[in-house]
């Protein structure tokens, strides 16, 4: 940490930088990094995590994806800067990065949500095949894949995970 008398270009305050030569303060760098991450995981097939985001049809709303300023303004005025030990998370894990569907959550909370993301198209295909065989009930499939029975139902009825 290094307090620098220069104002951070994002918040206009002389807040601490991680490194003395960084322009942005620590808080603002977090928001910038976040914006880059959510956009790439939702739109860049080469990015880490794309499989669980872009490939599943999860998007960053147009307002945010096109404007860092819009994203920053919304986050700061609705959620504030990132509290210690928190990550940026979606409330409905099948939903987009958009106003009303994001929050700062404690890491353990996010771990719980990540379990919903354990599914991949490959597993969904397997789940549908098992269900079609008639030997697996929705309840048993829910246990096997660690998802709710409602989720299994929406998968086998093609309401979720459609190509």
Shortest CB 25 distance to Zn ion, Å = 3
What is the closest distance, in whole angstroms, from the C-beta atom of residue 30 to Zn ion in the complex?
Answer: 10
- The CA–CA distances, whole Å, from 120 to 29, 131, 144 equal 31, 16, 14
- CB closer to Zn ion, 55 vs 76: 76
Q: Kindly state whether residue 10 participates in binding Zn ion, applying the rule CB under 5 A.
A: yes
The strand pairing partners of 90, in sequence order, are: 102
Stretch that binds Zn ion, among 21-29, 80-88, 103-111, 153-161 (CB under 5 A): 21-29
Residue ranges of alpha helices (H) inside 14-148 are 26-43, 62-66, 68-78, 107-114, 121-132, 138-145
Of the candidates 144, 136, 134, 138, the residue with the CA atom closest to the CA atom of residue 157: 138
Per-residue contact string for residues 101-140; x = within reach of Zn ion by CB under 5 A: ----------------------------------------
Is the Cβ–Cβ distance between 99 and 71 less than 8 Å? no
Query: Which one of the spans 8-16, 100-108, 113-121, 145-153 is the region binding Zn ion (CB under 5 A)?
Result: 8-16
Q: Which is nearer to Zn ion, 76 or 130 (CB)?
A: 76
Stretch 23-82 residues interacting with Zn ion (CB under 5 A): 25, 28
Q: Least distance (Å) from Zn ion to the CB of residue 11?
A: 3
Exposure class string for 137-151: b at 16+ Cβ within 10 A, else e: ebeebbeebebeeeb
Please identify, using beta-carbon distances, which residue of 41 and 72 lies nearer to Zn ion. Answer: 72
Query: What is the smallest separation between the CB atom of 50 and Zn ion, expressed in angstroms?
Result: 29
Return d(Cα 40, Cα 36) in angstroms, integer: 6
Binding site for Zn ion (CB under 5 A): 8, 10-11, 25, 28
């Amino acid at each position: 940490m290094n307090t620098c008398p220069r104002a951070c270009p994002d918040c206009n305050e002389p807040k601490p930088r991680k490194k003395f030569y960084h322009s942005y303060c620590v808080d603002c760098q977090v928001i910038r990094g976040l914006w880059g991450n959510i956009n790439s995981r939702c739109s860049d097939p080469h990015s880490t995590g794309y499989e669980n985001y872009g490939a599943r049809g999860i998007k960053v709303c147009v307002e945010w994806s096109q404007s860092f300023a819009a994203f920053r303004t919304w986050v700061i005025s609705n959620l504030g800067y990132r509290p210690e030990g928190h990550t940026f998370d979606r409330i409905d894990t099948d939903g987009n990065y958009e106003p009303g569907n994001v929050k700062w959550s404690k890491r353990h909370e996010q771990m719980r949500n990540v379990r919903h993301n354990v599914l991949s198209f490959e597993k969904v295909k397997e789940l549908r095949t098992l269900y079609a065989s008639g030997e697996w009930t929705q309840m048993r499939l829910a246990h096997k894949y660690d998802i709710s029975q409602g989720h299994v139902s929406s998968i086998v009825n093609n309401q979720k995970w459609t190509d």
